[in-house]
A = this chain, B = another copy of it.
Amino acid sequence: MMPPGAPRGAPGSDSDLSMDLSLLPPLALRVREHVVRMATDGGCFIGASLSCADLIVHLYTRVLRLSRETLADPGRDYLLLSKGHDVPALYATLAELGFMPRERLANHLKLHDSIYWHPNRGVPGVEFHSGSLGHLLAVATGIAYDIRLRGGANKVFVILGDGELDEGSVWEACLVASALRLDNLVAIVDRNEFQANLRTEELVPLEPIPAKFLAFGWSCATVDGHDFAALDAVVRPLGDAPAVPGKPSAVVARTVRGKGVPSIEARADRWFANFTAAEIEGLLGELHGGAAAGLTSEGLVVR
Interface residues of A (CB under 8 A from B): 166-173, 175-176, 178-179, 203-206, 208, 211-212, 214-217
Shortest CB–CB separation between residue A207 and chain B, in angstroms?
Answer: 9
Shortest CB–CB separation between residue A135 and chain B, in angstroms?
Answer: 12
For A212, the chain B residues whose CB sits under 8 A away are 212, 215-216
**Identical chains bound together, number:** 2
Q: With the chains together, A214 CA to B167 CA distance in Å?
A: 18
Which of B167, B173, B204, B217 has a CB less than 8 Å from the CB of A205?
B217
Q: With the chains together, A212 CA to B215 CA distance in Å?
A: 5
Q: With the chains together, A211 CA to B208 CA distance in Å?
A: 11
Shortest CB–CB separation between residue A124 and chain B, in angstroms?
Answer: 32
Shortest CB–CB separation between residue A273 and chain B, in angstroms?
Answer: 28
Contact call A179/B167, Cβ cutoff below 8 A: no
Q: With the chains together, A206 CA to B217 CA distance in Å?
A: 9
| Chain B residue at minimal CB-CB distance from A210 | B215
Shortest CB–CB separation between residue A137 and chain B, in angstroms?
Answer: 10
For A204, the chain B residues whose CB sits under 8 A away are 175-176, 179
> Are A173 and B168 also in contact (CB < 8 A) when A205-B217, A208-B215, A212-B216 are?
yes
Q: Which 6 pairs show the lowest CB-CB distances between chains A and B?
A: A168-B172, A168-B168, A211-B215, A171-B171, A179-B204, A212-B215
A selection of 24 A-B contacts at a CB cut-off of 8 Å is A166-B172, A166-B175, A167-B168, A167-B172, A168-B168, A168-B169, A168-B170, A168-B171, A168-B172, A171-B171, A171-B172, A175-B206, A176-B204, A178-B205, A179-B203, A179-B204, A179-B205, A205-B217, A208-B215, A211-B211, A211-B215, A212-B212, A214-B215, A215-B215
For A173, the chain B residues whose CB sits under 8 A away are 168
Shortest CB–CB separation between residue A60 and chain B, in angstroms?
Answer: 30
| Chain B residue at minimal CB-CB distance from A180 | B204
